[in-house]
Structures are given as C-alpha cells and as structure tokens.
C-alpha cells in the first residue's frame, strides 16, 4: 500500500510543479490560461488511470506468484444430473396425498416403523391410531348428547317432539281458519272443501231453512225437488257437484241459480249441510231419483 501511495505522489507532484511553473505565463491572456488548465487536468486524469492500471497489474502478478509458489489442488465440479421422468413419478407417488394426511394414515414405506412385534399366522398388526380430528368429533357427539338430555329431559327447558307437534297443529288450524275466512268469497266448485265442523253445518242449516225448505222439505226428504237424504243424485253427490248445482241452478227443472243471491261461503256451508243429511232417512221421503253414489 505504501508503494502505491509513493507512485501516486510521483505522478501528481510533477504535475503540480508544472502547474506552478506555468502560472506566471497566464498573464498573457485569460484564453491561454484556460487551455493550459484543461491540458494539465487531462494529464492528471491520464496519470491516475495509468496508476490504477498499474496497481491492478501488480495485484494480478502477486496472485499469479502466490499460485506458482503454493499451488492449490484442482477440485472437479459436481455433476448434477437432471431427474428422469421415472424418478419424478416415483417421488410423486411416495409423497402422501391429502386423503392420507386427513385420515392420519402412514404410507407403505413407513409401516415397518409402526409394526407391533407380535405376529399371528404371518400377519402383523400396525399401530395406526385413529386421527385426532375423528376422536374430537366422537367426543363432541358425546358432549352434545349429554347437553341435549339435560336441556330437554332433565331440566325441561325445551319442548319435546310431541309437544311441538301439538303446538304446530294448533297454529296451523288457526292459520287455516284465517285463510278460509279471508278467501271465502273466492271459493268455487273447484276449491270448495268438505267440512264436518259444527259451525259450518249450523251456518249451512240456516241457509237451507231460509232458501231450500220450500222445494226439498224441512228435513231434506224432498217435495218439488228431489230427496237429499238418499244416496241417489241427479247432478252428482260430491261436494263440488253440489256446490255447482246450487251456484248455477237447473233452470229446465225450475231450480234457480243462487250465485247472485248467496255468497260463495254460504253456498259452501249449504253444500256441506246437504251432505250431512245423507242416510238420515226422514219419514215420507220422496222416491229416489238419479244415480246412486257410494
């Protein structure tokens, strides 16, 4: 390093000397002084480049000399062979899959590490325990069953299935009543329902007493109109057929259409009341007419 510094000073000091010697000459003019400064600067840069090259060559000579005096043994580079397709396929097959990891299974290559010492008839048993997630699931079902028993059967906090059924049926019945009440005026022969409820039959009897006694008798035994208590019907004995007969009437036989006089709800109640008269067999019943229905 000291030699390098001495060489640098050897190049720089003459250059500064030249600069000092040329300074008095600059009195001739500013332009000549400027050109002289550029020339001196170029000379100094060139000297520094030569110095750097010399130092690099000196270092290279030292490395070569050191290698010649103390040569290092040659180490051949390791040859890395590219993996063949069979090698990559075997490596892929040996890696455990997602299902194997999920079940906590061991690959076949590791079975020898989990094999019990005892054998029977040449068959060995493996120590392959149940996966932890499965055991936690099993313990969770036990805890859930205990909590369910305490909540529903011991402490009686929740409703049992039969109690829920009764509550839901009562709610459905109430909703059905509300629905029928709201949709009564939209009823026709296709949507009318058969009903045996007491309030429906009472309402139907009131309509019958007001509008039907004159032709069918006070007990449905028949008068001008046919007997309504026997199983014979001229225009059908189903709830829809009776509703249709009352609604549109039978003009050719003298029965008027009641659709403009009675509401659909009243016709429905009346139809159900007429069905309730079946097989009552009142005295002085009119002879059967029409076809028999079961």
pTM above 0.75, yes or no: no
Reported in sequence order, the residue ranges of 127-262 that DSSP labels E, i.e. its strands, are: 232-233
Residues in the chain, total = 294
Reported in sequence order, the residue ranges of 66-189 that DSSP labels E, i.e. its strands, are: 115-120, 123-126
User: What's the pLDDT at 20?
Assistant: 43
* Dihedral of the alpha carbons of 229, 235, 237, 241, in degrees to the nearest 10: -130
User: What's the pLDDT at 206?
Assistant: 94
Distances (CA, A) of 232 to 1, 269, 282, 290, 293: 136, 21, 15, 5, 6
The values of phi and psi at residue 270, to 5°, are: -65, -40
Please provide the average confidence, as pLDDT, over all residues in the chain: 80
Kind plus residue range of the DSSP H or E element containing 292: strand 291-292
In this prediction, residue 184 has a pLDDT band, given cuts at 50, 70 and 90, of: low
Locate 90 and state its tokens. Answer: 């075997």
Distances (CA, A) of 155 to 97, 147, 148, 161, 230: 47, 10, 10, 16, 58
| Angle, helix 239-248 to helix 264-276, in steps of 10 degrees | 130
pLDDT tens, position by position, 122-144? 787 777 777 788 889 999 999 99
User: What's the pLDDT at 68?
Assistant: 80
Q: Decide if 276 contacts 202 (C-beta within 8 A).
A: no
User: What's the pLDDT at 1?
Assistant: 46
pLDDT tens, position by position, 62-72? 888 887 887 77
């Amino acid at each position: 390093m000291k030699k390098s510094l001495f060489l640098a000073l050897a190049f720089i000091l003459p250059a500064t000397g030249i600069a000092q010697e040329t300074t008095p000459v600059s009195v001739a003019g500013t332009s000549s002084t400027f050109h002289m400064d550029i020339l001196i600067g170029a000379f100094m840069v060139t000297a520094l480049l030569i110095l750097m090259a010399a130092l690099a060559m000196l270092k290279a000579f030292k490395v070569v000399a050191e290698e010649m005096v103390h040569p290092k043994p040659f180490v051949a580079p390791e040859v890395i062979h590219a993996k063949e397709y069979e090698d990559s396929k075997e490596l892929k097959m040996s890696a455990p899959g997602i299902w194997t990891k999920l079940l906590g299974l061991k690959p076949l290559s590791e079975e020898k590490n989990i094999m019990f010492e005892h054998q029977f008839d040449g068959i060995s048993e493996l120590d392959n325990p149940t996966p932890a997630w499965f055991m936690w699931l099993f313990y969770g079902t036990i805890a859930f069953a205990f909590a369910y028993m305490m909540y529903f059967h011991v402490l009686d906090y929740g409703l049992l299935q039969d109690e829920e059924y009764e509550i839901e049926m009562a709610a459905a019945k109430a909703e059905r009543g509300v629905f029928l009440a709201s949709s009564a005026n939209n009823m026709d022969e296709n949507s009318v329902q058969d009903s045996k409820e007491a309030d429906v039959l009472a309402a139907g009897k009131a309509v019958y007493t007001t509008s039907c006694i004159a032709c069918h008798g006070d007990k449905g035994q028949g008068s001008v109109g046919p007997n309504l208590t026997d199983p014979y019907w001229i225009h059908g004995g189903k709830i829809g057929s009776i509703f249709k007969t009352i609604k549109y009437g039978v003009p050719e036989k003298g029965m008027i259409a009641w659709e403009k006089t009675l509401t659909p709800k009243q016709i429905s109640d009346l139809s159900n009341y007429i069905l309730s008269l079946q097989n009552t067999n009142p005295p002085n019943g009119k002879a059967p007419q029409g076809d028999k229905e079961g």
